[in-house]
Amino acid sequence: MTRKRSSSSRKKMIIQRFYFLLETILIFLGIFLTSIILIPLSFLESYGVIYGISFYLVRAMTVIVAVTLFMYVSNFALYGKRGELILERDISPPRNFLGLFGIKRSNFKFQLLYGILILFLVFIPIDFLTYFFAPQMLVYSAEVLTFNISNSYFSEPYLIFLGSVIIIQFSVAFYEESLTRGFLANRGSDYIPKMSAVIMSSFYFGMGHFAYIFSPASPQIPTIFPFIWLIEAFFIGIVLSMTVLRRRWIFPAIFAHGMNNIISAHAIWNYLQGNDFMILALFLYLPLMIIGVVLLLLEFPLIKESLSLGTKELKLYLKNEVQVNENTGSKIIRILLDFLFGFLIFVIGFVFY
């Protein structure tokens, strides 16, 4: 009887993830179709910075429109199986998705505080330690990012660079967070347990950064660096996904992601100007690390509570699920499935996106 129940549980795990994969394919197909409007922008390529700004702004708009619109399509197309598979019933998946972007006067300062804490206590220390112990990562980042014509702003004078990087990197943060946390983690948690959706979406996010290994500039750099990016992005993805799912706010993730991209872009721009990392560490990262320590001391109770909740959820994810009489073998299969489907989503995104 126990073996039969375990087999049924494994079958349900696979089916739930499979139907979420089908919905994800529809979303990526929608992004691909709406991204066709980016093609006319190619005539701006000779204008460099103008092209880059236009490309990323339009891309951000197409992603939010495509995810919202094609969630309606997928909801209709998969309606027959939806009632059997969805763990948490929601009236309107698109409304659920768009609700993450809500900012009220009563919670704006709290959303901003979360964004600042994630920026100074997660993003910046990870970047600083990576550049400090593996300074060639800065070289690698510069090589693969500046190879793309849409990132030509890195070669511009500072004021043009500054205006461009603010618009571009917040656009990047907006569409990456909308897709990865807003759709994959948030919608995934309707089909599968929350931590499985967190791991799946975070592995997709990590693989998206690992994909730079396919850049024409990448063969000139040791292959260890794309793996470092994968691990960094995977860990950051877990923090951001858990925050978005727990608080139901996506603004903190967008803010922290966008600000960190701007800071990292400054490090790359300074490197391209001929400054070495020690100068960057002294004048850029050291003040930011000091601010992080001050924030840690000021907001320690909130940080401690968040760490405690996050650690507890991760521990539960790594334990056998008692409610479905999960054994160790089924747990291992569940975890492997999360990584496998995260990889499959990356492959689909790589093809369509």
DSSP notation for 58-79:
HHHHHHHHHHHHHHHHHHHHTH
Mean pLDDT of 175-192: 95
Token pair 């000139």 is at which residue? 220
Among 249, 290, 298, smallest CA distance to 108 is for: 249
Report the C-alpha gap between 314 and 326 in whole angstroms: 16
Residue 174 or 84, more confident: 174
Instruction: Give the type of residue at 171.
Output: S
Q: What is the pLDDT of residue 115?
A: 97
Q: Max alpha carbon distance in the chain (Å)? A: 71
Residue 149 pLDDT exceeds 60 = yes
Q: What is the pLDDT of residue 86?
A: 60
pLDDT in tens, 18-30: 989 999 999 999 9
**Contact (Cβ atoms closer than 8 angstroms) between residue 235 and residue 112:** no
**Per-domain residue ranges of the chain:** 2-352
Mean pLDDT of 273-295: 88
Token pair 């059997």 is at which residue? 84
Q: What is the pLDDT of residue 210?
A: 93
pLDDT in tens, 159-171: 999 999 999 999 9
Q: How confident is residue 214, by pLDDT bands cut at 50, 70 and 90?
A: confident
**Contact (Cβ atoms closer than 8 angstroms) between residue 169 and residue 145:** no
Length in residues, the chain: 353
Report the C-alpha gap between 329 and 77 in whole angstroms: 34
DSSP label at residue 217: T
Mean pLDDT of 164-181: 96
Q: How confident is residue 134, by pLDDT bands cut at 50, 70 and 90?
A: confident
State phi, psi for 218 to the nearest 5 degrees.
-65, -40
Query: Distance between alpha carbon 238 and the CA centroid of its chain, in Å?
Result: 9
Question: If you write DSSP's letter for every residue of 289-343 in order, what string do you get?
Answer: HHHHHHHHHHTHHHHHHHHHHHHHHHHHHTS--GGGT--HHHHHHHHHHHHHHHH
Most confident of 45-49, 70-74, 257-261: 257-261
Report the C-alpha gap between 184 and 268 in whole angstroms: 30
Q: What is the pLDDT of residue 351?
A: 85
Q: How confident is residue 12, by pLDDT bands cut at 50, 70 and 90?
A: confident
Residue 10 or 126, more confident: 126
Residue 298 pLDDT exceeds 80 = yes
Report the C-alpha gap between 246 and 306 in whole angstroms: 10
Helix axes of 286-298 and 124-133: crossing angle, nearest 10 degrees: 140
Residue 71 pLDDT exceeds 60 = yes
Mean pLDDT of 79-100: 70
